[in-house]
Structure 1
Amino acid sequence: MGARHGPRVDAVLIQAVIAGALSFAHLHDLAAAAGQDGWKAWAYPVSVDLLLVAAWRRLRSEGPSRLAWCWFLIALFASLGANVATAGFLDLADPPALLRLGIAGWPALAFLGGTLLAHSSAAEQETAPPAPVPDTPDTRDAEPRLPEAVVPEPAPAPVPAPVPPSTPAPAPVPPVPAVLVDHARKVADDYRARTGSPIDTDTLRSRLGVPPHLADAIAAHLA
């Protein structure tokens, strides 16, 4: 029978709990010194820590982004500022007006940051990568070969009837992946909703980042 192991103590987790508790207490003391008494003084550290966690979760799940880094640094600055302010650098009995102003404006700032982190996605700011253009066989060099036949004696050539000019057939639209067409349709609908006019080929090409001939093909599919 194997030896029974007792519960392991994670030193990093204990250190994180201690640091979080100290930062929580410093934020509470700073809010209380700025005139936020009662439950409001306890709500400030919760707000700062939640914004810090939300920004860090956004960085871990969707990768680095300027939005997540901005709000992570704002929440980190608020937490570090409270730790420094309660270490004797400020007179908490008579806090300066700038500190009162920052404490009073923090709820609106935290609400804005939480809303942007929760309701914005990095995928909305990135354009879809250009789809690979399928290779089409070049049939210009392939000429049909007629079987050799016995040439009869020449006969009087009949006078050919005048042939009316024929209307050239429209050029075939090259195939475009359905995923790229759906994405282009969303871009075109968004452009029409914002400007009130249909999107042109040059704007569509710049939004999708595709070559000119592929942009013409996509515009033909959207027509």
Structure 2
Amino acid sequence: MTARLRLDAVLVQAVIAGALSFAHMHDLAAAAGQDGWKAWAYPVSVDLLLVAAWRRMRTDAENRDAWLWFAIALVASLGANVATAGLLDLHDVPAWLRILVAGWPALAFLGGTLLAHGPAPAPDPSQDPEPMATQEREALADLTVERAPEPAPELPPAEPEPPAAPPALAPPVPTAPVPPVPPALLDHARKIADAHRAQTGTAMDAATLRSRLGVSEALADSITLALA
């Protein structure tokens, strides 16, 4: 019950203070030449900039821009409250104050844009939930009941493998008999080979000799060996 009464008292106090500040800023804007709905929009603009800067300061306390715009909005609100306390003649507002009131919308728009589109604060590594998850896994590992390993089943003795058969020897490749070379054919082949050497400067191979004589491959090889 006490906490609820304190909360209600704070709300009532906030409403009263906000209404008085709102009225003071409205009167100052109206005295500076901002009539009609424009005079009511000024206190709304100042209070919104003040709240936006405060919210940014709570999420990023090291943001100097948020502190700067909070101070600017606070000075505008306090200045309007003090100016309407009889220290300023609202029927004869000086020119510099008229300039400040007229230039406030552009200043408030700039501050609100910078606060809304500023870079987000970097995450704090000290608040990373990963260490907490690691601690929970370690605690669960400590609570795990270890089971005794079951004995392995006995396997029957392995049967001896039969001796490997020796590799089969490949059958010998029969060599073709070298056909005999007739003397007359050998003399004719020697003439052809000498003429080929005289023309090309190289010895005639078995393939060329075979094509010139029209003999078999084996006979051409025998003639080539005989001429060598």
- TM-score by length of structure 2 reads 0.50
Q: In structure 1, what is the Cα distance between the partners aligned to 2:24 and 2:119?
A: 33
Q: Is residue 52 of structure 2 the alignment partner of residue 54 of structure 1?
A: yes
How do residues 1-223 of structure 1 correspond to structure 2 at under 5 angstroms? 8=5, 10-123=8-121
1:6-40 deviation digits (Å, cap 9, x = unpaired): x6452222111111110000000000000000000
Q: In structure 1, what is the Cα distance between the partners aligned to 2:25 and 2:72?
A: 14
Question: Which 4+ residue blocks in structure 1 deviate beyond 6 angstroms?
Answer: none
Q: What is the letter of the counterpart of residue 88 of structure 2?
A: L
Q: What is the letter of the counterpart of residue 59 of structure 2?
A: S
Q: What is the letter of the counterpart of residue 83 of structure 2?
A: A
Q: What is the letter of the counterpart of residue 81 of structure 1?
A: G
Q: In structure 1, what is the Cα distance between the partners aligned to 2:82 and 2:29?
A: 14
Residue aligned with 2:34, SS:
coil
Q: What is the letter of the counterpart of residue 37 of structure 2?
A: W
> Which has the bigger relative contact order, CA under 8 A and spacing at least 6?
1
Q: CA deviation at 1:122?
A: 4.4
Q: In structure 1, what is the Cα distance between the partners aligned to 2:22 and 2:116?
A: 23
Q: More helix per residue: 1 or 2?
A: 2
Q: In structure 2, what is the Cα distance between the partners aligned to 1:19 and 1:31?
A: 18
Q: CA deviation at 1:62?
A: 2.4
Q: In structure 2, what is the Cα distance between the partners aligned to 1:64 and 1:18?
A: 32
- TM-score by length of structure 1 reads 0.51
8 A contact 2:59–2:121 mirrored in 1: no
Root-mean-square deviation (CA, aligned residues, Å) is 2.4
List gaps (5 residues or longer) in structure 1: 129-223
Residue aligned with 1:17, SS:
helix
Q: CA deviation at 1:121?
A: 1.5
Q: In structure 2, what is the Cα distance between the partners aligned to 1:123 and 1:50?
A: 22
Q: What is the letter of the counterpart of residue 21 of structure 2?
A: S
Q: What is the letter of the counterpart of residue 115 of structure 2?
A: L
Q: CA deviation at 1:63?
A: 2.4
Q: Which has the larger radius of gyration?
A: 2
Identical counterparts, % of pairs = 75
Q: What is the letter of the counterpart of residue 39 of structure 2?
A: A
Instruction: Give the total of aligned pairs.
Output: 123
8 A contact 2:32–2:93 mirrored in 1: yes
Q: What is the letter of the counterpart of residue 106 of structure 1?
A: W
List gaps (5 residues or longer) in structure 2: 126-228
Q: What is the letter of the counterpart of residue 80 of structure 1?
A: L
8 A contact 2:53–2:66 mirrored in 1: yes
Q: What is the letter of the counterpart of residue 93 of structure 1?
A: H
1:66-96 deviation digits (Å, cap 9, x = unpaired): 0000000000000000000000111000100
Range moving further from structure 2, 59-68 or 89-98: 59-68
